Chain A
């Protein structure tokens, strides 16, 4: 049974700002976009009570560049110890820009876009073959769907009826050098997944209770794999970051840091 954990998304956002400022790194907008999805999964959905059991649910952060949000949510969930989190971006740490399977609570190393859904499909197929009820959650970015390998995995999972596979696409509309609609248009993305025979849900990806309820309502024992098209706001919670391309890469200045923290604390 999944353990309920009390994770504050506001606290997670605050820590994203603090840690990214301390390390002087970017990818802040993506972390703020995905953090509600991760909060929902680790608060209310995923079964990882025993991290060493093969029966635990699996999680893949396929858009690995949002890892800071994952580290913080894992920490707030009581999985990643403070001592490990505090090594973030230090020389010799495993906690870098992209998650590594050596980190407590991380199942798969990622960083190269377009690979995580295949890993997840394999984990889901293995669970079926091993007659296990465990589920596999794969969080992806929208721009990641530019990769052809994503669609190989999409076809495969539907063909094998991997109902225990749940993909969550963080549809924030941005990628490294522009808006997704301008770089390589993904729309109509929900219809694409539906056409590939996935059980498709398009929801507000910054609404934690909506995400949790949707994920917990899925039939993961038979029929189709599931995809949540999570409509998110890039840079959510910090006004000057929201939907601004700059925050894919740029770190915070001292002034921006103060303003960002102040805005989050007032929410």
Chain B
């Protein structure tokens, strides 16, 4: 989605002089088209993410729309208090781009895992949060949200190719996308784990299980109307996210079920302990934490068989 982002940003920046791009010294071989087109609207602030968000705050107060870019933990966790006191509190149009969400920097270790970003930002009421399920939807999100009031966090994947079947780039602010396949069980996903869930649903069909998919790409504003419409139809719900199980969409769905007194079973799939230091391909890590297609399908089957309850 990095190239999708840069291409969308070039289009947006062509039509709006307020847009500038700041990076914390990351984006080599990604940002060059923007830099070539708008050399004076690109700022590499160096490896200094706190200052990057602070500078973006000052620029936004002056009427600009700065996009700040880094790997997820460096975009969110390192400058977190700057995000809180700056663009969130002042309600300024700073756009935070976190790349490599979840376990995508699998060989880089815990320092580079973006597995707590949604949790720490979701508690803040004044920031929009979007996590595209695939690059096509990412493009829709960038073009539908860029001029929204207040700050935005975009949780981006490095995947530039995969497509969630039948999603067709659909996106609306504050809505979730539903792909109906049956009422046996609902799988709710965050971001690109929708790709794994879609494949899990195909695996489940072989076992005669018909599962539906609800993709949450608009975390804030939360898709409350979608949840009200879809969740009561199901007695068994699984959430799957490349994120700690606390704070992400598992928590969002648990809150919703409790507050609406829905009568259903919820199983939250995600990262449930500190990664023990093992590195590896993203696929390997998704398997390790039970959020790959096979694990999600197996979990669904065991839930339907009355286990894990």
- A residues sitting closer than 8 Å to B (CB atoms) are 54, 58, 101, 107-112, 115, 117-127, 129-130, 136, 148-149, 152-153, 155-156, 159-160
Contact = CB atoms under 8 A, between A and B. Distances in A.
B46 A120 contact: no
Given A122-B56, A123-B58, A130-B62, A152 B48 contact: yes
Interface string B43-81: 101101011011111111111101000000000000001
A149 B50 contact: yes
Nearest to B79: A149
Given A108-B90, A115-B86, A155-B46, A126 B51 contact: no
Nearest to B82: A115
B90 A109 contact: yes
A155 to B, nearest CB: 7
A138 to B, nearest CB: 10
Contacts of A129: 20, 40-41, 59, 64
Given A117-B54, A126-B61, 15 more contacts: A54-B63, A58-B61, A118-B58, A119-B55, A119-B61, A122-B58, A123-B59, A124-B58, A125-B58, A129-B64, A130-B64, A148-B50, A149-B48, A149-B50, A152-B46
Contacts of A155: 46, 48
Nearest to A126: B62
Interface in B219-234: none
Contacts, number: 102
A54 B58 CA distance: 12
Number of chain B interface residues as a range: 20 to 34
Q: Which interface residue of A111, A127, A130 has the most chain B CB atoms within 10 A?
A: A130
Contacts of A118: 50-51, 53-55, 57-58, 82
Contacts of B59: 122-123, 125-126, 129
Q: Which interface residue of A122, A130, A160 has the most chain B CB atoms within 10 A?
A: A122
Main secondary structure of the interface of A (DSSP, over half): helix
22 contacts: A108-B58, A118-B53, A118-B58, A119-B58, A122-B55, A122-B58, A122-B60, A122-B62, A122-B66, A123-B58, A125-B55, A125-B58, A125-B59, A126-B62, A126-B63, A126-B64, A129-B41, A152-B46, A153-B55, A155-B48, A156-B45, A156-B48
B61 to A, nearest CB: 6
A109 B58 contact: no
Q: Which 3 A-B pairs have the closest CB atoms?
A: A118-B54, A122-B58, A126-B62
B151 to A, nearest CB: 14
A110 B89 CA distance: 10
A116 B81 CA distance: 12
